Amino acid sequence: MTGGAVAIAEPATVDAPAGARAADPSYAVLVVSPMRGALDELCGFVAETLAGESVFPCRGAAEAVAKAQTAARGRQSIAVFVFDFRGKPVGDLASHLRQAHKAFPHAELVVIADPCDPNAFAACARVTTAPETLTFLLAPLHPDEARRALRRVAERYRTMNESLRAAATRERAIMRLETEARELRARLDIAMHAARHDGLTGILNRAGFVDELAARLGRRRQMQTVLLIDLDRFKSVNDTLGHDAGDDLVRKICAAMSAIVSPGDVLARLGGDEFGIILEGATTAGVAEFCSLILRVCAQSRRVFGHEVQVSASIGVAYGDENASQVELMRHADLALYAAKKEGRNRYRVYDTAIDKAAKHRLSIESGLERALNTNQLAMAYQPIVKADTGEVMAFEALIRWNSPEYGVISPVDFVPVAEETGLILELGDWITRQALKDCRRWNGPYVSVNLSARQFLRHNVADRILQYAEDADLPPQRIQIELTETAIIDDVERADQNLKILRAAGVRVALDDFGTGYSSLVYLNQFAIDCIKIDKSFVDNITRDRQSAVIVASVAKLAASLGMSVVAEGVETADQQQALIAAGCGALQGYHFGKPMSAQDVAVFMAKTIGDRMLAAAS
Ligand code: C2E
Ligand code: CA
Ligand code: CA
């Protein structure tokens, strides 16, 4: 090649090159020269050198940029601009070069220059910020050298382009991952929220509450006070009005409590009808006031599914000093709640050491009682129930006794409720019933009156069991009376009614124990199959002292008689009480005045003695 001439080939003038494949398009090479002849020749040379690429002849940078943009829209990469401006002003070259570089900053720039024109070099170098993409081919061109240089430039572009593309792919992958991570986080947030919140009310649930308490204690900033709130007798709302009504009531009470809990404090629903509150930095007086407010709010009467419903609440309170753990604090509040319930509900109790002692005692009773059942530490005692006027023994009430080698004599008042809670009452109750029926079989005449706790009585097959035990003991059901409290009946009205009907049909008598201490009226209770009511000792205690008690007992006895029920007065300790009770219309009496609870063996002696006494009295 001489005089800057190159071998002439057909110029490639394709705008959208036919050879370009969609998946792997060829590169675009733009040859720019204002000199027609040189342009054609150079295009031919480039096309032959870079076979397979698309070569575009252009008279200037503007045309080159336009063609390159069209090619780029056809998804071609703009690889190389080749400029041949030999003999033209340096300024022209630089301005064309600048246009191309500005439009396609990644493209390689090749300038064919005269070796004796240093100005051209300097002007070109100033145009590009990436001098490594600027290549000079010195005229006259040596074809081999020029080919090698062009191929090197094309190759360099290919490498650069691939790495750019890889970087772009990477970038896209990273963006996709980031989007996915964001979505995942959002989903996780939703799941976390659901895991920590209550579906019904939207406030924190137990898990959320416990987390929050732990976090607050961990910060050790201020005193944290935990309140556990339990609605009293909520179950009966569920039972009588249905679960939807129960849910509605829970939502309404929750909303009312939310309104009085400060924004910095925490309210959570821990379970069915149980709520938790964390107060921060509250004083003792402040807590007392807050508890009273909560009690008032809970006790408000509310309209639920067309019914006026009123419940009360019990609250257990525990203060957490800086050393308290969340587990301990929850346990203390729970024990205090238990104490509040036990003391009569609709109140709050603050945890103290007495509560802790009681809990430990309960625990020891719990474990001791199970042992007692299996090691003959339990025995039955029987207390006579007599005719009010003649003193004739009608029946014996069966009362359980526990003689513990560790704790001495333990009152049933202490251990029966524990057995109720733990469920041991079922086993214990079976033992009591069998024993009492067996003992009664040996007496001539008097029937036996057996106490059944609520849990025991609401067992589904309790009637069948009792009748089975009667058969086992060979005792006619007519000689059995069961004593139930009001709660045993109204806790599950339907089941109680069913059990009562079976027992009554078989001839078993039913007595309502502790009458006057509950809330239900006798007229309401009359719908259940009840034979007899036992008037609580608290009325008997006062009957000789205050007129009101006498009036109450008299009116209860009268009403009971009109409903076809008999009346037994409990806890009669004096002859005066006996006289007052007879005057009030009580047909039967029970109490120390007639006989204390005694062992089964002593019953026979007692019977013989009373019969003897009565015969003597009759003879005199
Ligand atoms: P309750 O059913 O009201 O039994 C009457 C309680 O009053 C008995 O106490 C009895 O000894 C006592 N008592 C009777 N007359 C007098 C009196 O004149 N003066 C005084 N101060 N007390 C009198 P006890 O045996 O300690 O039983 C207490 C409670 O424990 C019972 O009250 C009953 O609720 C429960 N209980 C006792 N035995 C059983 C049982 O076998 N099963 C169940 N489920 N509960 C039982
Ligand atoms: Ca009783
Ligand atoms: Ca009683």
Name the burial class of residue 24, with classes exposed (0-12), middle (13-18) and buried (19+) by CB atoms within 10 angstroms of its CB.
exposed
According to DSSP, the residues that pair with 533 across neighbouring strands are 512, 567
Q: Which of 409, 272, 303, 287 is nearest to 350 (CA)?
A: 287
**What pLDDT, on a 0 to 100 scale, did the predictor assign at position 468?**
98
Q: Is the pLDDT of residue 362 over 90?
A: no
301-324 pLDDT, tens per residue? 999 999 999 999 999 999 987 788
Model confidence band, residue 5 (pLDDT cutoffs 50, 70, 90): very low
Backbone angles phi, psi at 308, to 5 degrees: -80, 120
Percentage of the chain modeled with pLDDT above 90: 71
Distance CA 4, CA 56 (A): 20
Average pLDDT, the chain: 90
Q: Which of 225, 417, 426 is nearest to 329 (CA)?
A: 225
Looking up tokens 């419940």 gives 311
Closest atom of ligand 1 to CA, residue 485 = 34
**What pLDDT, on a 0 to 100 scale, did the predictor assign at position 383?**
98
Q: What is the DSSP letter of 477?
A: G
Backbone angles phi, psi at 83, to 5 degrees: -110, 130
259 ligand 1 Cβ < 6 A? no
432-470 pLDDT, tens per residue? 999 999 999 999 889 999 999 999 999 889 999 999 999
282 HSE (CA, 13 A, CB side): 25
> Which residues lie closer than 8 Å to 498 by C-beta, 6 or more apart?
463
**What pLDDT, on a 0 to 100 scale, did the predictor assign at position 366?**
87
Q: How far is CA 282 from the centre of its chain?
A: 26
398 ligand 1 Cβ < 6 A? yes
Q: Which of 100, 110, 98, 87 is nearest to 4 (CA)?
A: 87
**What pLDDT, on a 0 to 100 scale, did the predictor assign at position 467?**
98
Q: Which of 59, 70, 63 is nearest to 15 (CA)?
A: 70
Cα(561) to ligand 1 centroid in Å equals: 25
Q: Is the pLDDT of residue 85 over 50?
A: yes
Closest atom of ligand 1 to CA, residue 411 = 26
Q: Which two tokens stand for residue 345?
A: 């509900």
> Which residues lie closer than 8 Å to 140 by C-beta, 6 or more apart?
1, 2, 3, 4
**What pLDDT, on a 0 to 100 scale, did the predictor assign at position 9?**
33
Q: Which two tokens stand for residue 204?
A: 């924190």
Q: Which of 155, 166, 131 is nearest to 79 (CA)?
A: 155
> Which residues lie closer than 8 Å to 618 by C-beta, 6 or more apart?
none
Q: Is the dihedral of CA 456, 462, 465, 467 positive or negative?
A: positive
Distance CA 277, CA 329 (A): 12
> Which residues lie closer than 8 Å to 187 by C-beta, 6 or more apart?
none
Q: Give the pairing type, strands 108-113 and 302-304.
A: unpaired
Distance CA 354, CA 488 (A): 30
163-204 pLDDT, tens per residue? 988 999 999 999 999 999 999 999 988 888 999 999 999 999
Closest atom of ligand 1 to CA, residue 593 = 18
Phi-psi region of 376 (alpha: psi -120 to 50; beta: other; left: phi over 0): left
**What pLDDT, on a 0 to 100 scale, did the predictor assign at position 219?**
87
End-to-end, the C-alpha distance of the chain in Å comes to 164
Q: Is the pLDDT of residue 21 over 50?
A: no
383 ligand 1 Cβ < 6 A? yes
Model confidence band, residue 24 (pLDDT cutoffs 50, 70, 90): low
Q: Which of 383, 396, 399, 401 for mutating ligand 1's site (highest number of atoms within 8 Å of CB)?
A: 399
571 ligand 1 Cβ < 6 A? yes
260-288 pLDDT, tens per residue? 999 999 999 999 999 999 999 999 999 99
Asked if omega into 140 is within 30° of 0 (cis), the reply is yes
Which ligand lies nearest the alpha carbon of 488?
Answer: 1
Determine contact, residues 260/319, Cβ cutoff 8 Å: no
Using DSSP, state whether 53 is helix, strand or coil: coil
Distance CA 411, CA 414 (A): 5
**What pLDDT, on a 0 to 100 scale, did the predictor assign at position 18?**
40
Distance CA 229, CA 241 (A): 22
Using CA positions, which residue lies closest to atom 45 of ligand 1? 451
For residues 70-93, average pLDDT: 91
Distance CA 51, CA 30 (A): 14
Cα(534) to ligand 3 centroid in Å equals: 6
597 ligand 1 Cβ < 6 A? yes
417 ligand 1 Cβ < 6 A? no
Which ligand lies nearest the alpha carbon of 515?
Answer: 3
**What pLDDT, on a 0 to 100 scale, did the predictor assign at position 346?**
95
Looking up tokens 């205050």 gives 546
Model confidence band, residue 113 (pLDDT cutoffs 50, 70, 90): confident
Q: Which of 139, 163, 313 is nearest to 233 (CA)?
A: 313
Which ligand lies nearest the alpha carbon of 453?
Answer: 1
**What pLDDT, on a 0 to 100 scale, did the predictor assign at position 7?**
34
485-496 pLDDT, tens per residue? 998 998 888 899
Q: Global pTM?
A: 0.61
413 ligand 1 Cβ < 6 A? yes
Asked if omega into 131 is within 30° of 0 (cis), the reply is no
524 ligand 1 Cβ < 6 A? no
According to DSSP, the residues that pair with 386 across neighbouring strands are 393, 589
**What pLDDT, on a 0 to 100 scale, did the predictor assign at position 222?**
86
According to DSSP, the residues that pair with 318 across neighbouring strands are 226
Distance CA 514, CA 543 (A): 16
541 ligand 1 Cβ < 6 A? no
Looking up tokens 């959208």 gives 16
Cα(416) to ligand 1 centroid in Å equals: 11
**What pLDDT, on a 0 to 100 scale, did the predictor assign at position 19?**
40
Q: Is the pLDDT of residue 212 over 90?
A: yes
**What pLDDT, on a 0 to 100 scale, did the predictor assign at position 247?**
95
Query: Kindly report the CA angle at 195 between 190 and 201, in degrees rounded to 5?
Result: 90
Backbone angles phi, psi at 492, to 5 degrees: -150, 85
Tell me how far CA of residue 253 lies from CA of 16, 207, 210, 310, 606, in angstroms.
Answer: 76, 21, 21, 11, 57
Distance CA 240, CA 571 (A): 35
Cα(474) to ligand 2 centroid in Å equals: 24
For residues 97-126, average pLDDT: 89
For residues 528-537, average pLDDT: 94
Q: Which two tokens stand for residue 80?
A: 């190389």
Residue type, 140: P
Residue type, 86: R
Strand runs (DSSP E) across 99-158, as ranges?
A: 108-113, 134-138
Q: Is the pLDDT of residue 87 over 90?
A: no
Determine contact, residues 567/532, Cβ cutoff 8 Å: yes
536 ligand 1 Cβ < 6 A? no
For residue 405, how many other CB atoms are within 10 A of its CB? 10
Which pairs count as long-range contacts for 557-564, CB under 8 Å and 24+ apart, including other chains?
557/584, 557/585, 557/586, 557/587, 558/585, 559/522, 559/523, 560/522, 560/533, 561/585, 563/522, 563/523, 563/526
Model confidence band, residue 547 (pLDDT cutoffs 50, 70, 90): confident
Distance CA 506, CA 463 (A): 9
